[in-house]
Chains A and B, each alone.
Chain A
Amino acid sequence: MAGVGGGNDFQWCFSQVKGAIDEDVAEADIISTVEFNYSGELLATGDKGGRVVIFQREQESKNRPLSRGEYNVYSTFQSHEPEFDYLKSLEIEEKINKIRWLPQQNAAHFLLSTNDKTIKLWKISERDKRAEGYNLKDEDGRLRDPFRISTLRVPVLMPMDLMVEASPRRIFANAHTYHINSISVNSDHETYLSADDLRINLWHLEITDRSFNIVDIKPANMEELTEVITAAECHPHQCNVFVYSSSKGTIRLCDMRAAALCDRHSKFFEEPEDPSSRSFFSEIISSISDVKFSHSGRYMMTRDYLSVKVWDLNMENRPVETYQVHEYLRSKLCSLYENDCIFDKFECCWNGSDSAIMTGSYNNFFRMFDRNTRRDITLEASRENSKPRATLKPRKVCTGGKRKKDEISVDSLDFNKKILHTAWHPKENVIAVAATNNLYIFQDKMN
């Protein structure tokens, strides 16, 4: 029953679930991104309807010792609306593709949210005081008759109910012809990059009308197109370094000091293909859906359809670790191609100490791998295990032969219940798992 954690055996327990219980899931409610902020105090989710919901962790108080740091809704706002590109007769989806927090510099919180075409910088601030005693307007806000004013007074700040406001501070638009798949804040806290299928742009957070194009892989003749950019990320410490992954299963590391246009990579990471496992779908399953640097900056992790690979930045010819997420699907690739599941883009994440990694699968299963002990565990996000502080039972998929009790056969997996987005608290063993329209929060029992 051992869980996976930072070296010790932890046990994952259910903490909370957010979202409607309805069987009928509205498409707009499907969660499309999950992200903790730098301190872990805030947890943001974006959905297909273009909304952002931010949860804040409660301070542990003596009054309610049992609510060990629960996350409650802090702010909800509509980040993106559906748009229509009249020139191309294309509808632009409002679905939030990514949210990235900025490091906190003052009392307000800032995050970047993006849909397919536009990135927005949102400021989330609290207001718990209100000025009262204006001279020119009364408490309702109506203007006072100037002739009635006989004395002057200084407005005073009075406490009020906490109000959390979200306001768009910058809108970075019209820089991407293709669909934006990634944004990443640079370690200099001044710039960030945005990547679409063929180009990567570098922005300054203060400047919205210009961006630098740093990678362009669009061929002169589109018929020669063989690969697209699938994800990009800035290095956590070196502000001149970033990586981007491709649909061919390769990762390129680029150094912005080398040239203005980083079409020539500094490092090229590719694992030679195993010719014995070649099939019609080899190219699809090798396409990388997510790339994440470790917190240390020494490693990076890539997710393709069937596996997660950890790469050492100093070794380009193969990954240092490969973890199979759901190898039993390899024989089902044709049906997964037919029902479009093979195109699902799973994300992956590191824990705070880089000792464990987590990624999602089908049937609301998610997987964790301990890099030190090489142990892995499969857990399920479901309402059935949702008693407070109930320990999660490890799940197992039966790949063939006799099905043991509590095992699930591959054929009875529900491919509509997919966990694409997961996030791990930057410091503690708290994880957020998005299962369609529900957000599950699990904590380690020791917490």
Chain B
Amino acid sequence: MEYKVEAHRIMSISLGKIYNSRVQRGGIKLHKNLLVSLVLRSARQVYLSDYYSGVCLNTQHVEAKEWELMDSNQEKPLTPAPEESLSPSTDCNQNPVVPEDPEVQHTSQAVEDSTDLHSVYSKHQAEEESSSEDSTTDVSLTSSPVTCESQCEAKGAEVSSSDCEADANPATVTEGNSQQPPKAHSCSNRKRTAEKTASNDSPVKRTKVTSSNSSEEEAEEMDTGNVSNLITIFGSSFSGLLTKESSEPEAETEDSDSGSGQICCDQMLKNLNPWSTAIVAF
């Protein structure tokens, strides 16, 4: 766990260095940026290896547990929801807010429509963009990074939720079901605001709710989405970089860029399979 925190910290620092190198006098130093990108890569590998090993081991276990919880907590989330609608917890307001809303919608859509993953994602992304403009996130984004990030986040939300489940659920499961309902509460208000959800979808929502709740925790763990902040700044800054700079530093930083952007996407990509099977199973 400490390795993950340390790795994450090093990743943030590295991204900051690469970003700052753009404004340094004398131009981008290839050697230093190469070394920083190597550190970034190592840190990312450590970070992801923890993620991946965690998810792989726990996903199947988690899915089974989810069904159990869902059945037992069928009624609960609906009643306390109105109380919580006015108090979006701070952690919900951070980056996970963006993915969570459409994520919930998304899942319900998936269940209702029984469409394949791609169409769900595209719909979801359209919703995502409008919702992200409304929601006040702490990331100031230009339009293209928003799309990129929202896409990432959308996919990532599911992934990170499954990850969170991996992390959170074993603990919660062992501790009993008491923790699940409260988590369900804080996110169920968002579920309420997602107009497309129907009440008969509550089992599905609940499953999703727990996972999105876990993704909150995960976001907290991720230090309030600093990494994704940096990635978007990084991404948007590189569009400027690509137009101005010659191909060599640009390509080098592209390498880093793809490395950092991958941080988000890799998580999803690596974890997509187990979760998508879960969705399809619905």
> Chain A interface (Cβ within 8 Å of chain B)?
88-93, 95, 116, 177-179, 181, 197-198, 218, 221-223, 225-228, 230, 247, 280-281, 283-284, 287, 334, 337-338, 340, 343
Interface size class of chain B, counting residues whose CB lies under 8 Å from the partner chain: 20 to 34
* A178 interface neighbour in B30, B39, B258, Cβ under 8 Å: B30
Asked if residues A337 and B13 are in contact (CB atoms below 8 Å), the reply is: yes
**Known pairs A177-B248, A247-B31; A91 contacts B26 (CB<8 A):** yes
Contacts of B248 in A (CB 8 A): 177-178, 218, 222
Within B1-26, the residues touching A (CB, 8 Å) are: 6-7, 10, 13, 17, 25-26
Distance in angstroms from B221 CB to nearest chain A CB is: 20
Interface residues in B28-43 by Cβ distance below 8 A to A read: 29-32, 34-35, 38-39, 42-43
Residues from chain A with a CB closer than 8 A to the CB of B50 are none
Q: Are B34 and A280 in contact, CB atoms less than 8 angstroms apart? A: no
Chain A residues near B6 (CB, 8 Å)? 334
Cα A177 to Cα B247 in complex, Å, equals 11
Q: Indicate if the CB atoms of A283 and B27 lie closer than 8 Å.
A: no
CB within 8 A of A280: which of B25, B43, B247? B43
Q: Within the complex, which residue of B25, B38, B43, B252 is in contact with A284, where a contact is CB–CB below 8 Å?
A: B38
A179-B26, A223-B258, A338-B13 given. 12 additional CB < 8 A pairs?
A: A88-B246, A90-B26, A91-B27, A179-B27, A197-B31, A198-B30, A221-B251, A226-B34, A281-B39, A283-B42, A287-B31, A337-B10
B252 touches A222 (CB 8 A): yes
Selected contact of A92 from candidates B27, B244, B246, B255, CB within 8 Å: B27
Chain A residue contacts of B25, Cβ below 8 A:
91, 93
Main secondary structure of the interface of B (DSSP, over half): helix
Interchain Cβ contacts under 8 Å between A and B, 25 examples: A89-B244, A92-B27, A93-B25, A93-B26, A95-B26, A177-B246, A179-B27, A179-B29, A221-B251, A222-B251, A222-B252, A223-B254, A223-B255, A228-B30, A228-B31, A280-B7, A280-B10, A280-B42, A280-B46, A281-B39, A283-B39, A284-B35, A337-B10, A338-B13, A343-B32
**Across-interface contacts of B35 in A (CB, < 8 A):** 247, 283-284, 287, 343
- Nearest Cβ on chain B to A230's Cβ, whole angstroms: 7
B138 lies within 8 A of chain A by Cβ: no
B259's nearest neighbour on chain A, judged by CB, is: A223
Who on chain A is nearest to B256 by CB? A223
* Contact residues in A for B246 (Cβ distance below 8 Å): 88, 177
Q: Is the CB of B13 within 8 A of A116?
A: no
- Decide if B71 is an interface residue (CB 8 Å cutoff): no
Give chain B interface residues in 233-249, CB to chain A under 8 Å.
244-248
Q: Which residues of A contact B43 (CB under 8 A)?
A: 280
Complex Cα distance A342/B165, Å?
Answer: 38
Question: Please, how many angstroms separate the alpha-carbon atoms of A428 and B27 in the complex?
Answer: 40
List the B residue with the shortest CB-CB distance to A343. B32
